[in-house]
Chains A and B, each alone.
Chain A
Amino acid sequence: MTERVRVAVIGGGPAGLTAAAALAPSVAGDVLVLEREVETGGIPRHSDHPGYGLRDLRRFMSGPEYARRLTGSAREAGARLETEAMVTGWAGPRTLEVTSPRGRRLVEADAVVLATGARERPRPARLIAGDRPDGVYTTGQLQNLVHLHHREVGRRAVIVGAELVSWSAVLTLHEAGCRTVLMTSEYDKPEAYTAFRVPGRLAFGVLVRARTRVVAIHGKGRVTSVEIENLDTGQRHRVPCDTVITTGDWIPDHELARAAGLDLDEGTRGPRVDTSLATSVPGVFAAGNLLHPVDTADVAALDGRHVAAAVLGHLAGEPAPGGGVPLVAEAPLRWVAPQLVRPGGPPPSRGKLLLWSDAFRTLPRVTATQDGRVLGRARLPWPAAPGRVFRVPYSLVAGADPAGGPVRLTLA
């Protein structure tokens, strides 16, 4: 069976729902959101604490409330939301294979928006050795266990990573009656904002150890301890605990992007997109944390709003723009998104380039050069720090010569 729709949005999280809400009123025909979970809303649904909706809705609300709000908006705009519907592959450039309890079918769309999000690398991907006991979770799984399934966790947790999401794990553990006895970070200092770290430490008594890695997990049946190593001295010791949370270390859910043969970016591992969020395949667009693993939910949502213009252009028969100048992030910058500046293209969402840094800079200076010529330079008042997105004004690269070579972004 084949169903025809105007736009298929894959993923009913903040980016997908917002894209659908933006598109549905302007599109003649179906805007179908395919969500594989039982409910739409994405990851915020699992995060039962405030902090959502600031940039897109100008409100401050809990994750579940935010998820409900975005779902309502998409529905009211006229988008069709289908849950428990998983896209498992492609039967053509814009034809999706979909499995749901309602059957197995093909969905053929004039435009596809990939909004499949990102997830945390679990323990095996981090090559942490040792036993395989119960009690080792990613933040996502922890939140799912505690907030949606109301499960017990242990009493003493060690958190691997000290990103923003790591503190979210502390909150969740606290709520579940589990004390965080240690957070480890391989970086020179803990990644998350001082604004979180200091109250976090005071409120929850969390010890954060930088330049530390977890080398092994011990325990039969249930975790009994982790072995940590001081990266400077090589000294090791065991920390007794019954729960280990691996946090951060994001990877986009890029299976469908890869299966479609989209050009991928080596840094983000998501699709390479231009500032309009068009991928390398005409009619296929991408938005949200699939492109920048991982920014906050509201920034993902704003991508969804931003991508609508390019989708409408494609539906109106505008040809896909060609050419363009690639953006290259130089170490210690790990990646930049979007990666392509096209002549005549729009500025990116919010007029910002998103970057990821592997080093701290308190007053970072970013320089954009093209063919040895400085295009732009800025000293930014906000820090560059590992574990969270570093935002840079697009104006730095806006003057790139469309016929020139790659634009290199450096951090000093």
Chain B
Amino acid sequence: MTSYDVAVIGGGIVGSAIARLLGGADLSVALLEARGDVGDGTSKANTAILHTGFDAKPGTLESRLVARGYHLLGEYAAATGIPVERTGALLVAWSQEQLDALPGLRDKAARNGYTACEIVDAAEVRRRVPALGPGALGGLTVPGESVICTWTTNLALATDAVNRGVRLLRGHRVTAVHQGADATRLTTTAGEVTARWVVNAAGLGADRLDALFGHDRFTVTPRRGELLVFDKLARPLAPCIVLPVPSSAGKGVLVSPTIYGNVMVGPTAEDLSDRTATGTSEAGLAFLWEKAAALMPALTEEEVTATYAGLRASAGRDDYLIDLDAGQRYLLVGGIRSTGLTAGMAIAEHVAGLLGEHLDLAQRAGLPAPPRMPNLGEAFTRPYQDAAAIAADPEYGRVVCFCERVTRGELRDALASPVPPADLEGLRRRTRVMNGRCQGFYCGARVREIFEGENE
């Protein structure tokens, strides 16, 4: 049984970012993921927005880390090729109450250090988003809000961690914790793992793991968010992210372009008790359809390409819960909701700050360069469009998935990557394959064959 200096539990964006950072130090680090693949929980199904943090609660840890993470991830994206589209956002007021709330939101943004917001009138709202339904009274611009690829972010961080020597242990669900004087022994579904320090970044399971360490400080409520994804042909309708004005009725439904060139409407917000309830619901889909019709009527003439439901970890509190217990050599990173995508790298930095008092986290010399990730963004050149790439390697000219224009070369690369997919879903997240309008009508069988052939 191998013993590690640190075991990070949870291969989502937060856990991967932490493992990557710790992996840069002179430490042995394991990244444990309960599922078969990294990013297969909350991280894979969020609204994929790189947040400025303009609407966070000022003074919170979340506000600080989102603002910091916005820059960290922006820079990391440029270095690794994680696609980001700087679309900007527009909060649209549909009622007098919402219109009256705009100045307060602008001031709140300023208190979060974000001063670029502007209040615009109804005519300007219409000019910016002509396809919007009737009735908008005004809006607030947030020029820095952007859309990003959440899948690639997670994979880049995990790949980087692996390249730095972190041991990625997938299919390791922690079922028991035995604390010794110098080390903690974790019983997992795939054997035991021992580490001096344990970081709990288990997302939806963070409270249960916390309980295994003997704590009773928070409860994760799985909050289901359902999403409708409209066909790429709808993309011109949504030139920027259209956000609702938060009100007493909650955060509301947004209309957003996706990095893959689609238009997304959602999410719903429904607190559940079942942490595996990732199915969509009739009521949720009907609600979103109505919302789409009201917010952007032309959307209802377009095809729905996909419907999703994701669970985000609602901890019933207004801030992240990041706490180090030196006696237990245990650090909890809990209550990280959807802002965790943006904040992940800043959370890692914060965690390193806490751990740095107990471990030497000086970065090693000669660390490998950040990985160069394949581009999944529709706004940037993809292999099928790249004459030079095809000339050098004809497999980039062999289109397998017609809707998403994914080539054989990209599938091959994904299967041979440092963090290869465990299943077809994982292959989808690495390449976009089968995510298009036909959902596998043309390529499903072929992709399965390629996936299994490569695994033999």
Write the residues of chain A forming the contact surface with B, with a CB cutoff of 8 angstroms.
1, 36-37, 84, 86, 88, 99-105, 119-125, 127, 129-132, 137-138, 140-141, 144-145, 148-149, 151, 215-216, 218, 220, 251, 255, 258
CB contact under 8 A between A127 and B304, given known A138-B441, A141-B440: yes
Q: Which of A88, A122, A149 contacts B441 (CB 8 A)?
A: A122
Nearest 5 A-B pairs (CB), nearest first?
A122-B439, A101-B394, A104-B387, A131-B279, A149-B445
Give Cα A138 to B434, complex, Å: 13
| Chain B residues whose CB sits within 8 angstroms of the CB of A145 once the complex forms | 444-445, 448
Contact B385 A220 (CB under 8 A): no
Contact B307 A120 (CB under 8 A): no
Task: Pick out which of these stretches binds chain A: B102-110, B355-363, B397-405.
Answer: B397-405
Residues 375-406 of chain B, each 1 if its beta carbon lies under 8 Å from chain A, else 0: 00000000011110011001101110010010
28 CB contacts below 8 A, A to B, read A86-B399, A88-B399, A99-B390, A101-B390, A101-B398, A102-B394, A103-B390, A104-B386, A104-B387, A105-B387, A119-B438, A122-B438, A124-B304, A127-B289, A127-B304, A129-B307, A130-B280, A131-B278, A138-B439, A138-B441, A141-B441, A141-B442, A144-B442, A145-B444, A145-B448, A216-B279, A220-B276, A251-B303
Apart from the given pairs A84-B398, A129-B282, 19 other A-B contacts in the complex at a CB distance below 8 Å: A36-B402, A86-B399, A88-B384, A99-B405, A101-B390, A101-B395, A103-B387, A103-B397, A104-B390, A120-B441, A122-B438, A124-B307, A127-B285, A129-B280, A130-B279, A132-B279, A137-B444, A151-B448, A251-B303
Contact B399 A84 (CB under 8 A): yes
B446 at the interface (CB under 8 A from A): yes
Contact B385 A125 (CB under 8 A): no
Residues 281-315 of chain B, each 1 if its beta carbon lies under 8 Å from chain A, else 0: 11011000100000000000001111100000000
Contact B279 A129 (CB under 8 A): yes
Residue of A nearest to B283 (CB): A129
Interface of B is mostly: mixed
B366–chain A nearest beta-carbon distance, Å: 38
Give Cα A220 to B278, complex, Å: 10
| Chain A residues whose CB sits within 8 angstroms of the CB of B395 once the complex forms | 101
A64–chain B nearest beta-carbon distance, Å: 15
Q: Which of A36, A121, A144 contacts B399 (CB 8 A)?
A: A36
CB contact under 8 A between A215 and B282, given known A101-B390, A102-B397: yes
| Chain A residues whose CB sits within 8 angstroms of the CB of B391 once the complex forms | 103
Contact A127 B307 (CB under 8 A): yes
Give Cα A35 to B84, complex, Å: 33
Give Cα A218 to B279, complex, Å: 8
Q: Which of A125, A137, A220 contacts B305 (CB 8 A)?
A: A125
B323 at the interface (CB under 8 A from A): no
Contact B445 A141 (CB under 8 A): yes
Contact B384 A99 (CB under 8 A): yes
CB contact under 8 A between A125 and B303, given known A99-B397, A101-B394, A102-B397: yes
| Chain A residues whose CB sits within 8 angstroms of the CB of B305 once the complex forms | 124-125
Residue of B nearest to A120 (CB): B441
A340–chain B nearest beta-carbon distance, Å: 21
Residue of B nearest to A147 (CB): B445
Most buried by A among B229, B304, B439: B439
Give Cα A37 to B402, complex, Å: 9
Give Cα A258 to B28, complex, Å: 55
| Chain B residues whose CB sits within 8 angstroms of the CB of A86 once the complex forms | 384, 399, 402, 405
Give Cα A36 to B403, complex, Å: 11
Give Cα A120 to B442, complex, Å: 10
Residue of A nearest to B425 (CB): A132
B233 at the interface (CB under 8 A from A): yes
Residue of A nearest to B279 (CB): A131
Contact B444 A144 (CB under 8 A): yes
Contact B279 A140 (CB under 8 A): no
A67–chain B nearest beta-carbon distance, Å: 15
B226–chain A nearest beta-carbon distance, Å: 9
CB contact under 8 A between A121 and B279, given known A101-B394, A145-B445: no
Give Cα A145 to B437, complex, Å: 18
Give Cα A148 to B438, complex, Å: 18
| Chain B residues whose CB sits within 8 angstroms of the CB of A141 once the complex forms | 440-442, 444-445
| Chain B residues whose CB sits within 8 angstroms of the CB of A120 once the complex forms | 441
B449 at the interface (CB under 8 A from A): yes
CB contact under 8 A between A140 and B397, given known A104-B386, A127-B285: no
| Chain B residues whose CB sits within 8 angstroms of the CB of A37 once the complex forms | 442
| Chain B residues whose CB sits within 8 angstroms of the CB of A138 once the complex forms | 438-441
Contact A99 B385 (CB under 8 A): yes
Give Cα A104 to B405, complex, Å: 13
Q: Which of A101, A123, A251 contacts B397 (CB 8 A)?
A: A101
| Chain B residues whose CB sits within 8 angstroms of the CB of A119 once the complex forms | 438, 441-442
B87–chain A nearest beta-carbon distance, Å: 21
Give Cα A121 to B390, complex, Å: 32
| Chain B residues whose CB sits within 8 angstroms of the CB of A137 once the complex forms | 440, 444
B228–chain A nearest beta-carbon distance, Å: 8
| Chain B residues whose CB sits within 8 angstroms of the CB of A149 once the complex forms | 445-446, 448-449
A288–chain B nearest beta-carbon distance, Å: 16
B224–chain A nearest beta-carbon distance, Å: 12
| Chain A residues whose CB sits within 8 angstroms of the CB of B278 once the complex forms | 131-132
| Chain A residues whose CB sits within 8 angstroms of the CB of B233 once the complex forms | 255, 258
Which B408-456 residues have a C-beta within 8 angstroms of A? Answer: 437-442, 444-446, 448-449
